Amino acid sequence: MPPNLSVKLAPESPAGLTLANPVMTASGTFGYGTEYADVFDIQRLGAIVCKATTLAPREGNPQPRLVETAGGVLNSIGLQNIGVAAVIREKAPLWAKWRVPVIVNIAGDSITDYGKLAARLTGVKGVSGLEVNISCPNVSAGGAAFGARPDTAAAVTAAVRQATTLPVIVKLTPNTGDITAVAQACARAGADAVALINSVKGMAIDVAQRRPAIGSVTGGLSGPAIKPIALAMVYEVSGAVDVPVIGCGGIASAADALEFFMAGASAVQVGSATFANPRAALDVLEGIEAFMAKEGIKSLDEIIGCARK
Ligand SMILES: Cc1cc2nc3c(=O)[nH]c(=O)nc-3n(C[C@H](O)[C@H](O)[C@H](O)COP(=O)(O)O)c2cc1C
């Protein structure tokens, strides 16, 4: 019998969100999935999370928007995207033909925006779930401002929950005093799962120019540098909520992903690693399969949270 890698990300949701395996792509690092369709067999992934989608198209922040740092990358894209109407018209019909489920990451300037986005995407063929981005560090309104406090995080979650029958994942920010309290508030407000972490607020200065290295001064740090932070937060949150936790932050190899499972994550997202290796997510999946075969592990449940005991 091949090992069972399937994972139920929204066990309480009538719509359900069962992935064939726990390896997803992280929003903003894998476009709409279509860009990678010729690079490797993306249908083998557990799920694809698309770039953040807002009600209207957005141009994003001033350049430069991406700077390499030690062990990571600092970005300030600012939610550049084609807008929800184009996603529904141009992308969803392609996704509907895919085996791999696509989850749409949504972002708004106000709580009302989130509800409207959720309503617009509900019932659209090709959309299997929503990931509510209350964690973007690179916008002046909304984004991480909602995710920093339990009450505002819960208000956004409740608005989305009311507006949709789709499975709802809430994506959390590490830029808060108490991510566990925020996760608990989201779970109470109807989140089917939580994903963490989004990027960590950071900065770099171009010494030659004597100016901030990115256009919007600060940005979001991602990559290997943030993995220990993400892992500690996943460990804490998964001990405090009953909903599935999706781990994200610096995952570039199967060994990284296994650490997150052992800390309590039910699934993982591969983000910045894709920039250096476009098939990073598939490499992570194949490495997990090899580890399970070698260790005689029949089901992921055998390792999820094992480091907690
Ligand atoms: C260039 C870039 C764009 C991103 N865009 C989004 C986004 O649109 N929505 C979102 O929720 N997260 C976004 N993120 C955050 C990632 O999904 C992920 O949470 C973060 O990068 C940490 O994972 P990593 O270290 O594996 O990259 C973005 C990250 C990067 C590097």
Q: pLDDT digits over 58-91, tens only?
A: 998 888 999 999 999 999 988 899 999 999 999 9
Q: How far is the CA of 268 from the centre of ligand 1 (A)?
A: 13
C-alpha triplet 106, 196, 46: angle, nearest 5°: 75
The answer to whether the Cα torsion of 235, 102, 31, 137 is positive or negative is negative
Specify the pLDDT at position 142.
67
Q: For residue 37, report the distance from its CA to the centre of ligand 1, in Å.
A: 20
Ligand 1 pocket: which of 48, 68, 170, 198 to mutate (most atoms within 8 A of CB): 198
- Closest atom of ligand 1 to 51 CA is 8
- Asked if residues 153 and 147 have their Cβ atoms less than 8 Å apart, the reply is yes
Average pLDDT of span 108-123: 96
Closest Cα to atom 12, ligand 1: which residue?
27
Catalytic residue among 136, 186, 248, 306: 136
Q: What is the pLDDT of residue 135?
A: 82
Atom of ligand 1 nearest to the CA of 248: 23
Taking CA atoms only, the protein residue closest to ligand 1 atom 2 is: 28
DSSP category for residue 217: S
Q: Where are the alpha helices (DSSP H) in the chain?
A: 84-86, 92-95, 111-121, 144-147, 150-163, 179-188, 227-238, 254-263, 273-276, 280-295
Q: Binning pLDDT at 50, 70 and 90, where does residue 277 land? A: very high
- The pLDDT confidence band at residue 203, using thresholds 50, 70 and 90, is very high
Pocket test of ligand 1: the residue of 50, 58, 222 to mutate, having most ligand atoms within 8 Å of its CB, is 222
Instruction: Give the Cβ contact number of residue 245 at 10 Å.
Output: 30
Residue 220 has pLDDT above 80, yes or no: yes
- Ligand 1: residues with CB < 6 A are 26-29, 51-52, 73, 75, 77, 79, 105, 133, 135-136, 171, 198-199, 222-223, 226, 248-251, 270-273
Distance between Cα 265 and ligand 1 center (Å): 18
Say whether 136 is catalytic: yes
Give the nearest ligand 1 atom to 107 CA.
9
For residues 255 and 284, what is the distance between their CA atoms, to the nearest angstrom?
Answer: 8
Distance 203 CA to ligand 1 centre (A): 16
Nearest CA to ligand 1 atom 10: 27
- The 10 Å Cβ neighbour count of residue 155 is 17
pTM of the model: 0.97
Which ligand 1 atom is the nearest neighbour of the CA of 227? Answer: 25
- How far apart (Å, rounded) are the C-alpha atoms in residues 7 and 101? 13
Instruction: Give CA–CA dist 175/303, Å, rounded.
Output: 29
Each residue's pLDDT tens digit, 153-173: 999 999 999 999 999 999 999
Written as six digits, the tokens of 206 are 């171009």
* Mean pLDDT for all residues in the chain: 95
Residue pair 144/198 in contact (Cβ under 8 Å)? The answer is yes
